[in-house]
Structure 1
Amino acid sequence: MERFYPRDVDVHTLSPLALAFVGDGVYSLLVRERLLTEANRPVGDLHRLAVTAVRAEAQAEAMERLLPLLTEEEVAVFKRGRNAHSTRTGADYHKATGLESLFGYLYLDGRLERVQELFAHCMKEDV
């Protein structure tokens, strides 16, 4: 699997919220593709399931499952994202932003196999 837009970017120069901006899209696409391939249903049902899966609470739970599996580098990226200043409040939103930052970081760094591996662990108890 290759990135959709092939231009290289130095992920270390991007803010945690910029990484989360991309990571949100990556995570959402993975959720939607998984739902379509594993639970083919009417599009309205797929949409409701996707919205549930990408809510901050669901992402925070997924992040809890991931934490023991992360490398030191990945934990550092998560923490930067979790601690980033945002307009949202609450522990779940901070964890969700950390998860999205991690997915954005790995995706933009070309580590797509790792993205897929972590996503599989996020979804172990779902659908």
Structure 2
Amino acid sequence: MNNFNLSNIDMNNVNLINPLVLAYIGDSVFEVYVRTKVVNDGMFKTNKLHRLATEYVKAKAQAEALVKITENLTDDELNIVRRGKNANSNTIPKNADIADYKKATALEALIGYLFLSNKLERLDEIIDLILNKN
């Protein structure tokens, strides 16, 4: 993923980006990882791919993933998670309770932060913790 042109982003100030913007990016990045995983797992029927991917990207699953990885996060990462969880979104979740939605936003903000900070090895570690059932 190093081929993305992030030249307009001041890498020293990624932590100043609105956490909802980080979550916006993180949502897409996480979706790519999840879709790649389900294809790598040998699923090739698109309707099945979609159903499997949805199990990972829905708010409840992301909230559970955040709880699962929290003890492995650095102080800087926990700060991003806190900011993501406390961000005021005017969106009302359709299929999730508000607590899960806030945790999902926090996870997406963390993923967006790691991606935009070009901390791709760390991003891979976090995604691996989330997607592997160990």
TM range (shorter): over 0.9
Gap runs ≥5 in structure 2: none
Quickly say closer, same or farther: Cα 1:61–1:108, change in 2 above 3 A.
same
Structure 2 CA distance, aligned partners of 1:8 and 1:106?
A: 16
Structure 2 CA distance, aligned partners of 1:80 and 1:18?
A: 11
Alignment of 1:25-104 (within 5 A): 25-86=28-89, 87-88=91-92, 90-104=98-112
Larger deviation, residues 62-71 vs 10-19: 10-19
The amino acid across from 1:50 in the alignment is A
Structure 1 CA distance, aligned partners of 2:8 and 2:55?
A: 32
The amino acid across from 2:120 in the alignment is L
Q: 1:70 Cα deviation (Å)?
A: 0.1
Aligned residue number for residue 2 of structure 1:
2
The amino acid across from 2:15 in the alignment is H
Q: 1:5 Cα deviation (Å)?
A: 2.3
Structure 2 CA distance, aligned partners of 1:97 and 1:76?
A: 13
- Tell me the number of residue pairs that the alignment of Structure 1 and Structure 2 aligns: 126
TM-score normalized with structure 1 length: 0.92
Runs of 4+ in 1 over 3 A off after TM superposition: none
Give the CA RMSD over aligned residues: 1.5
Decide whether the 8 Å contact of 2:19 with 2:84 is kept in 1. yes
Q: 1:51 Cα deviation (Å)?
A: 1.5
Gap runs ≥5 in structure 1: none
Quickly say closer, same or farther: Cα 1:41–1:24, change in 2 above 3 A.
same
Is 1:111 matched up with 2:119? yes
Quickly say closer, same or farther: Cα 1:12–1:117, change in 2 above 3 A.
same
Structure 1 CA distance, aligned partners of 2:130 and 2:111?
A: 12
